[in-house]
Amino acid sequence: MMKMLGHEVRQPGQIPSPPLLSAAEKGLLSTNATMIRKAGDLFQPDKVWDVHLQFTSNQWTKLGPNTVPPVLNFMRPDGSIVLRNPQASRNGLAGVFGLDFPWSEATIDFGDTHFEKVGARFKGNGTFVNSQRSYKRPYKIDLNRNIKSQELAGRTTLNFHNLTADASCLSDTLAYEFFRNAGVPASRTAFARMQLSIEDLFRDRLLGLYVLVENPDSQWAREQFDCDGVALFKPVTYELFKDLGEDWHAYEGIYDPKTKLKTKQCRRLIALARLVTHASKDQFEQAVGDFLDLKEFARFLACEVILSNYDGFLSNGQNFLIYLDPKTEKFGFVPWDLDHCWGEFPYYGTIQQRERASIWHPWVGENRFLERMLGVPQFRDLYRRELERVRTTLFVPERLSARLDELAEVVRPFITEESSRRLARFTREVSEDVAATLTNSPAVEQQQSRGFRLKRFFDARAASVSEQIEGRSQGVILTRASRR
């Protein structure tokens, strides 16, 4: 399987289609990048930026991916999946499969702004693997990797997510916005309609709609917390804050720092790991508030749970960040990679079970950290209050549906340009009318259209969370499918 995968990612297959937008539709694209001065002007969810990525033949070849020894038997008997490969430079599924993403160079036109010799590499895990036969891959662009003066609205890193896992194309945008509205530090987004040119292969061909996600790095943290020196970690572990001893090297690969760390920041995380692993119930209740901002963590957890976000913190120990605020020396949490939010992730339970997922036992499998946290009366009360606040003020089906309709109109012309199949899947997921999604669809699409739909999730999840808060329902505890 690994050999076949390696071949397919190097031979994407069919050349992308030429652009198909009418003159009127081209007028909907944002192009005035030279006029933006701050990140807030760049990241606006109603913008669709016109972006053109260009490679020479050698630059495209250098993108790889390279191969490293894969992790064999990555499916564990309990249904969990190994998500770290020490032989790969990045954590995640792609590395486990033996794929490593080296940096290359490219030229990029972002609207009316031209950048030469930018750093470029593939990114993502499942979204990259899902795009193995396509040129529509996720890309990370480092504007100043080779020319240090290059930046865009104060940002040097651009994340282009290819939306292959999200038929609605709106999950990321809606979810990041939801977290920010709830008061959780979270990235901002915009859309991009991308074209690709590769020397000697093709020129000005359509990749389609992407979501541009703000990079959570030291620049982002400085704006969020109004200070320098914020430590950022991107963990991948089923055993968050497990004591691994006193040597930071045992933690480094697991917690994957995204900023330069001070020794005292490393020691602070190790101390929290000791507390979570070894403290008695009374000791833990008394001391955990010295390490975590309990109200902020309650807010983050409430959003994760109410969105039934099961591709991350609640299940497989990835797709989130941890920050350490240097002013308070307390840890907090940041969401990441939200394309499977809104109960869509198909690997745990049914659609209906994810709609009714438990708010008091929201984790999948064993999770000592969350079990201990929800055993602390003070935190449990804060968490309940945040659930009630978020449910009654933000997770309001009419409010969410109206916002979904607004964003759907922004992206619809560019999804239509990609393909009729993509448009049919998009229409199915954002529509209220099931019958509307069945028109002129093949049998397989008709079967799928009886599955996940965003607006149905809004209604069902809101009702379930309210019932559980009021004690009228226990909710559903999701589990992994055992392979024993």
pLDDT of residue 79: 81
Whole-model pTM: value is 0.93
Q: Where are the domains of the chain?
A: 2-220, 222-347
Strand partners, 137: none
Cis ω for the linkage preceding 86 (within 30 of 0): no
Q: How far apart are CA 300 and CA 288, in angstroms?
A: 16
Q: How far apart are CA 291 and CA 179, in angstroms?
A: 22
* pLDDT tens per residue across all 484 residues of the chain: 555 555 556 667 789 999 999 999 999 999 999 999 999 999 999 999 999 999 999 999 999 999 999 998 888 888 888 889 988 988 988 999 899 999 999 999 999 999 999 999 999 998 998 888 899 999 999 999 999 999 999 999 999 999 999 999 999 999 999 999 999 999 999 999 999 999 999 999 999 999 999 999 999 999 999 999 999 999 999 999 999 999 999 999 999 999 999 999 999 999 999 999 999 999 999 999 999 999 999 999 999 999 999 999 999 999 999 999 999 999 999 999 999 999 999 999 999 999 999 999 999 999 999 999 999 999 999 999 999 999 999 999 999 999 999 999 999 999 999 999 999 999 999 998 644 433 344 433 333 334 689 999 999 999 999 999 999 999 999 998 765 5
Q: What percent of the chain has pLDDT over 90?
A: 84
Tokens 């917390």 locate to 225
Q: Report the alpha-carbon angle 324-325-329, nearest 5.
A: 80
Q: Which amino acid is at 264?
A: K
pLDDT of residue 82: 87
Strand partners, 50: 193
pLDDT of residue 452: 82
Confirm if 180 and 157 have CB atoms less than 8 A apart: no
pLDDT of residue 317: 92
3-class DSSP string for the chain = CHHHHHHHHHCCCCCCCCCCCCHHHHCCCECCHHHCCCHHHHCCCCCEEEEEEEECHHHHHHCCCEECCCCCCCECCCCCECCCCCCCCCCCHHHHCCEECCCEEEEEEECCEEEEEEEEEECCCHHHHCCCCCCCCCEEEECCCCCCCCCECCECEEEEECCCCCCCCCHHHHHHHHHHHHCCCCCCEEEEEEEEEECCCEEEEEEEEEEEECCCCHHHHHHHHCCCCCEEECCCCCCCCCCCCCCCHHHHHHHCECCCCCHHHHHHHHHHHHHHHHCCHHHHHHHHHHHECHHHHHHHHHHHHHCCCCCCCCCCCCCEEEEEECCCCEEEEEECCCCCCCCCCCCCCCHHHHHCECCCCCCCCCCHHHHHHCCCHHHHHHHHHHHHHHHHHCCCHHHHHHHHHHHHHHHHHHHHHHCHHHHHHHHHHHCCCHHHHHCCCCHHHHHHCCCCCHHHHHHHHHHHHHHHHCCCCCCECCCCCCCC
Q: Which two tokens stand for residue 94?
A: 């792609």
pLDDT of residue 170: 98
Strand partners, 209: 193
C-alpha dihedral, 342 to 345 to 357 to 360, nearest 10°: -90
pLDDT of residue 133: 85
Q: Which amino acid is at 273?
A: A
Confirm if 423 and 415 have CB atoms less than 8 A apart: yes
**What does the buried/exposed string (b/e) look like for 428-445 if buried means 16 or more CB atoms within 10 Å of the residue's CB?**
bbbbeeeeebeeebeeee
- Please enumerate in sequence order all residues whose Cβ is within 8 A of that of 145, keeping only pairs 6 or more positions apart, or say none: 103, 118, 119
Q: Residues 188, 346, 64, 415: is their CA dihedral positive or negative?
A: negative
Q: How far apart are CA 74 and CA 96, in angstroms?
A: 8
Q: How far apart are CA 60 and CA 80, in angstroms?
A: 35
pLDDT in tens, 213-229: 999 999 999 999 999 99
Q: Residues 190, 195, 199, 200: is their CA dihedral positive or negative?
A: positive
Q: How far apart are CA 388 and CA 302, in angstroms?
A: 9
Q: How far apart are CA 48 and CA 408, in angstroms?
A: 12
Q: How far apart are CA 447 and CA 463, in angstroms?
A: 26
Q: Which amino acid is at 114?
A: H
